[in-house]
């Protein structure tokens, strides 16, 4: 009978998570259509490839492309018709055997115009390229800033202009940048390809100028057509602004591959890698072992053993601070230090019960020491999130939970080895910070479809907000019936629950991608391979106190 219960629970989890994965894939298929099939067909009628077709022609055949930010802009800007994928496709791909960051404007989405999320996504691409010293390839096809929202994309530090600053910084760092002008390239957007190290332009479809024909007519009264003003012949043979004139998209992309083929290499970081070995325990069992009921305890080791090579992990301080698991393992051959939230309910050596998913003082202390050890040994860190936060209450406060939590947050902040975060389940409050949330510079942060990211869970937040609102109403002499309270609670909870979904987070680039759990090993491996291009800075232990 116990075995049947376990099987039933396993099957329920597996079915529920596979439904979530199917939903994710259906949404992605819609996003991949950009501005819609008609607009993609219109682009192809002009002799142009679509953004995703360009990337497929550019990368090595049968190689992986790790798309990032596909959900950027999801359910945002609906008053303007939406902005699928932020109007730009980006990710890490292999070009002539070399990992590169690739950024391709999607002209089917508002002619490739830049929304605020487009700028944020492009800056994230540049950030990843800078941190990992990856060559970056821009496939430019954009009408420039989306004018109705110019105040949210143009003037601030992390807006449109920051990209050109980053162009200059990358050039000074010796990070190769290649830009292909494959469509419109107007106004401020014209600086991005020309501030790159080399620029290609496609004849008849590519054009680049600071002001288009209409603005030239309005500004100085001159009448000029687009080709004469800034077409491929003008910019390659008269102005010398571009370096290569290409007859079509395919030739342009092949030429970029030829250019990348000649790149030299940097000194690498020297992370340990051995021959990759698959987990001994089947990764396909993860959906059945991961509870869809986020309050239900489970053994996080069951998940870890299906992510690491040969299912082997050397546990650090196994019997101490048991609500965090720390240990050394390999993922696809790469040595890693794993920091994971344990979701089992345990009894510590003092006989006290500790609840899974909560960070206690001893767990925070253990994790901080482990993170410092990984920095000393030059081992990349992998954080597996399923955390509801730090322990609260009188006993925890008297025991100095804030001080111990600060140790862990400080260790994460000052860590200089690459960090990779996988949000499997909950990632709430300061637990998100301690487990290397987006604010703590993970090289990549991805979420499973089961992830929840917020200050606290929907039910808890709704109860807190309900108490505040009803107290305020009663203070004004208003009576609040039980039925009204229940209605208000549900309204608050539904709003809050929507804001905790991985889609809400991915739309705003709080995470780089939502992935199938089966892709976790690949994402971590490609991330460490990218990070290996950039030597690790000297470890700074900061203010961590023992």
**More confident: 330 or 151:** 330
In this predicted structure, what is the pLDDT of residue 545?
35
Residue range 449-457: mean pLDDT, rounded: 88
In this predicted structure, what is the pLDDT of residue 479?
77
Share of the chain above pLDDT 70, in %: 96
Share of the chain above pLDDT 90, in %: 73
In this predicted structure, what is the pLDDT of residue 5?
55
Phi and psi dihedrals of 181, rounded to 5? -90, 100
Q: What's the rounded Cα separation, in Å, for the pair 443 and 133?
A: 12
Here the tokens at position 436 are: 């290397």
In this predicted structure, what is the pLDDT of residue 402?
85
In this predicted structure, what is the pLDDT of residue 324?
97
Residue range 304-316: mean pLDDT, rounded: 98
In this predicted structure, what is the pLDDT of residue 242?
96
pLDDT per residue over 12-61, tens digit each? 999 999 999 999 999 999 999 999 999 999 999 999 999 999 999 999 99
In this predicted structure, what is the pLDDT of residue 401?
84
Confidence band, pLDDT 50/70/90 cuts, at residue 71: very high
Read out DSSP for 415-479? Answer: --S-EEEEEEEEEEHHHHHHTT-GGG--SEEEE-TT-EEESS-HHHHHHHHHHHHHHHHHHTT--
Q: What's the rounded Cα separation, in Å, for the pair 213 and 223?
A: 7
C-alpha of 304 from chain center: 21
Residue 382 scores a pLDDT above 70: yes
Residue range 339-365: mean pLDDT, rounded: 85
Phi and psi dihedrals of 190, rounded to 5? -70, -20
Helix (H, G, I), strand (E, B) or coil at 383: strand
pLDDT per residue over 397-406, tens digit each? 767 788 888 9
The mean pLDDT of the chain is: 91
Confidence band, pLDDT 50/70/90 cuts, at residue 6: low
Q: Which residues contact 270 (CB under 8 A, 6 or more apart)?
A: 378, 532, 535
**More confident: 461 or 194:** 194
pLDDT per residue over 463-474, tens digit each? 777 788 777 777
Contact predicate 105/144, CB 8 Å: no
pLDDT per residue over 495-518, tens digit each? 888 899 999 999 999 999 999 999
Read out DSSP for 348-370? Answer: -TTS-EE-TTEE-HHHHHHHHHH
Residue 370 scores a pLDDT above 60: yes
Residue range 155-174: mean pLDDT, rounded: 91
Residue range 250-278: mean pLDDT, rounded: 96
In this predicted structure, what is the pLDDT of residue 540?
47
Residue 543 scores a pLDDT above 80: no
Residue range 292-302: mean pLDDT, rounded: 92
């Amino acid at each position: 009978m116990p075995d049947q219960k376990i099987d039933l629970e396993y099957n329920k989890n597996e079915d529920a998570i596979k439904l979530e994965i199917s939903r994710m894939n259906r949404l992605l298929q819609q996003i991949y259509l950009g501005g819609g099939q008609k607009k993609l067909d219109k682009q192809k009628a002009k002799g142009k490839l679509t953004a995703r077709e360009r990337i497929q022609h550019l990368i090595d055949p049968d190689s992986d492309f790790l798309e990032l930010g596909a959900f950027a802009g999801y359910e945002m800007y609906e008053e303007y018709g939406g902005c699928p994928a932020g109007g730009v496709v980006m990710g890490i791909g292999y070009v002539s055997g070399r990992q590169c960051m690739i950024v391709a404007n999607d002209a089917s989405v508002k002619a490739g115009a830049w929304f605020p999320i487009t700028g944020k996504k492009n800056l994230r691409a540049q950030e990843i390229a800078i941190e990992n010293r990856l060559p970056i390839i821009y496939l430019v096809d954009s009408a420039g800033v989306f004018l109705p929202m110019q105040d949210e994309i143009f003037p601030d530090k992390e807006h449109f202009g920051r990209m050109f600053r980053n162009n200059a910084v990358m050039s000074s760092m010796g990070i190769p940048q290649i830009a292909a002008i494959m469509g419109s390239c107007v106004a401020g957007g014209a600086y991005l390809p020309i501030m790159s190290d080399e620029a290609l332009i496609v004849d008849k479809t590519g054009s680049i100028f600071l002001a288009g024909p209409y603005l030239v007519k309005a500004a100085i009264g001159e009448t000029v057509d687009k080709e004469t003003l800034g077409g491929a012949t003008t910019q390659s043979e008269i102005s010398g602004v571009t370096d290569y004139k290409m007859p079509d998209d395919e030739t342009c992309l092949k030429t970029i591959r030829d250019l990348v083929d000649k790149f030299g290499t940097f000194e690498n970081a020297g992370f340990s890698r051995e021959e990759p070995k698959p987990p001994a325990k089947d990764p396909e069992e993860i959906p059945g072992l991961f509870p869809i009921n986020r309050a239900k305890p489970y053994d996080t080791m069951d998940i870890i053993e299906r992510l690491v090579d040969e299912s082997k992990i050397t546990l650090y301080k196994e019997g101490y601070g048991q609500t965090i698991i720390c240990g050394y393992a390999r993922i696809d051959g790469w040595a890693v230090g794993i920091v994971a939230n344990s979701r089992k309910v345990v009894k510590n050596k003092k006989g006290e019960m500790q609840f899974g998913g909560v960070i206690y003082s001893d767990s925070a202390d253990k994790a901080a020491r482990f993170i410092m050890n990984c920095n000393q040994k030059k081992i990349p860190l992998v954080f597996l999130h399923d955390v509801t936060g730090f322990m609260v209450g009188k006993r925890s406060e008297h025991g100095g939970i804030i001080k111990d939590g600060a140790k862990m947050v400080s260790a994460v902040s000052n860590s200089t080895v690459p960090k990779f975060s996988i949000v499997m389940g909950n990632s709430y409050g300061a637990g998100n910070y301690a487990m290397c949330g987006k604010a703590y510079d993970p090289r990549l942060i991805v979420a499973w479809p089961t992830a929840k990211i917020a200050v606290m869970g929907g039910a808890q937040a709704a109860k807190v907000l309900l108490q505040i609102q009803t107290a305020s109403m009663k203070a004004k002499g208003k009576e609040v019936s039980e039925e009204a309270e229940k209605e208000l609670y549900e309204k608050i909870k539904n709003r809050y629950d929507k804001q905790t979904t991985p889609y809400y987070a991915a739309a705003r680039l709080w995470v780089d991608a939502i992935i199938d759990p089966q892709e976790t090993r690949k994402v971590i491996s490609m991330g460490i391979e990218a990070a290996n291009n950039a030597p690790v800075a000297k470890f700074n232990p900061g203010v961590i106190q023992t």
